[in-house]
């Protein structure tokens, strides 16, 4: 575990308690907020060994196991493959609005939802991922993907190599988001595109929850993934990318993207179903598109 006496983003020592969770298992249980740059991060924070263990068989345990996420992705693959060309381009507009071909990197690819939309001869596919089982799934269900098991920084891709870097719900899991963004800038070609998706700490739902807890004289708990090391507001994320020389093209709030039918039919507890319904109805996530 890593214990911080300063902010890992701006080095300030102006840290305050933000949330705590004493009920769930996970690599860390509390978060603090930096009074200067406003970033929220786990403290203590899981180290590399903790996270390697946590992400082993990640999609077959915890909420991912309960939601039967692998089955959900297999269903999504079939749905996308059956889309008309017009419907496909609309659903994949976050890619094809910016790039039609080239080298595509999915950072922390998981089961390859990002790769699904570029699984054609126009793109050369690359992916990084910690979980070996997830990489096996990717190799089995998509066309040729050049995979690397481990952290992005250890993959050591060449300078100016990729046309599009897809980093969806990864930046909140890493130990050094500044280094990650800097690395993605390095490996992107000039005018290359970076897509990042992550929870929005200042969404209406999160803000309402914290207000409710304070009014009830309770300490806010950690209501998103316990494995999240950094939690970004839209300002946090835009400040990080701008500082690393990216140009912001689009930055918007989006919902979780699950369906009410999938949530209802899952084996989640009633409390977790209600929480997931709320995250599907309200725009709890953010989507940032940048160019180098």
- Residue 172 has a pLDDT of 96
Which pTM does this prediction carry?
A: 0.89
φ, ψ at 218 (rounded to 5°):
-120, 155
The 3-class secondary structure across 216-267, one letter per residue, is CCCCCCCCCCCCCCEECCHHHHHHHHHHCCCEEEEEEEECCCCCHHHHHHCC
Domain assignment present for 182: yes
Q: What is the pLDDT of residue 49?
A: 87
* pLDDT value at residue 276: 61
Contact 156, 248 (CB under 8 A): no
- The pLDDT of residue 244: 94
Query: Is position 19 within any domain?
Result: no
Q: Looking at the domain assignment, is residue 80 inside a domain?
A: yes
Does 9 fall in a domain? Answer: no
Confidence at residue 181, expressed as pLDDT on a 0 to 100 scale: 97
* Sequential pLDDT tens for the chain (292 residues): 899 999 999 999 999 999 998 877 778 889 999 999 999 999 999 998 888 888 888 777 655 655 577 888 888 889 888 988 889 888 899 999 999 999 999 999 999 989 999 988 899 999 999 999 999 999 999 989 999 999 999 999 999 999 999 999 999 999 999 999 999 999 999 999 999 999 999 998 888 888 988 999 888 888 888 889 999 999 999 999 999 999 999 999 987 666 556 655 656 566 666 666 566 667 889 999 999 9
Domain count, the chain: 1
Residue 275 lies in a domain: yes
Name 147's bridge partners: 127
Yes or no: say if 241 and 290 are a contact pair by the CB < 8 Å rule.
yes
244 domain residue, yes or no: yes
d(CA 58, CA 63): 9
Q: Is residue 98 part of a domain?
A: yes
What number of CA atoms fall less than 13 Å from residue 206's CA on the CB side? 18
pLDDT at 193: 98
In a domain, 171, yes or no: yes
Q: What is the pLDDT of residue 163?
A: 98
Strand 145-149: give its sheet, edge to edge.
145-149, 123-129, 102-106, 162-168, 188-199, 285-291, 247-254
Give the domain CATH number at 200.
3.40.50.150
223/210 Cα distance (integer angstroms): 10
108 near 128, Cβ under 8 Å? yes
Domain span including residue 89: 57-211+234-291
């Amino acid at each position: 575990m890593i214990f911080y006496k300063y902010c890992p983003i701006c080095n300030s020592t102006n840290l305050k308690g933000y949330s705590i969770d004493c009920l769930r298992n996970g690599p860390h249980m509390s978060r603090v907020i930096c009074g200067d740059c406003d970033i929220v991060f786990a403290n203590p924070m899981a180290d590399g060994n903790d996270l390697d263990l946590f992400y082993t068989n990640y999609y077959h345990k915890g909420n991912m196991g309960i939601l039967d996420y692998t089955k959900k992705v297999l269903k999504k693959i079939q749905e996308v493959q059956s889309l008309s060309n017009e419907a496909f381009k609309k659903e994949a507009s976050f890619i094809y609005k910016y790039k039609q071909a080239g080298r595509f990197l999915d950072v922390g690819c998981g089961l390859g939802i990002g790769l699904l939309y570029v699984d054609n001869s126009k793109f050369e596919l690359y992916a990084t991922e910690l979980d070996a089982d997830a990489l096996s799934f990717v190799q089995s269900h998509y066309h040729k993907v050049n995979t690397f098991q481990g952290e992005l920084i250890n993959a050591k891709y060449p300078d100016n190599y990729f046309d599009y870097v897809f980093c969806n719900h990864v930046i909140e899991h890493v130990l050094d988001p500044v280094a990650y963004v800097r690395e993605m800038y390095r490996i992107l070609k000039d005018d290359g595109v970076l897509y990042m998706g992550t929870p929005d700490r200042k969404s209406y739902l999160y803000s309402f929850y914290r207000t409710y807890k304070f009014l009830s004289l309770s300490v806010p708990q950690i209501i998103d993934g316990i494995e999240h090391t950094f939690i970004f507001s839209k300002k946090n994320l835009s400040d990080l990318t701008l500082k690393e020389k990216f140009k912001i093209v689009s930055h918007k709030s989006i919902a979780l993207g699950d369906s009410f039918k999938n949530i209802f039919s899952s084996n989640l507890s009633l409390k977790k179903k209600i929480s997931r319904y709320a995250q599907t109805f309200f725009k709890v996530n953010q989507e940032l598109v940048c160019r180098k």
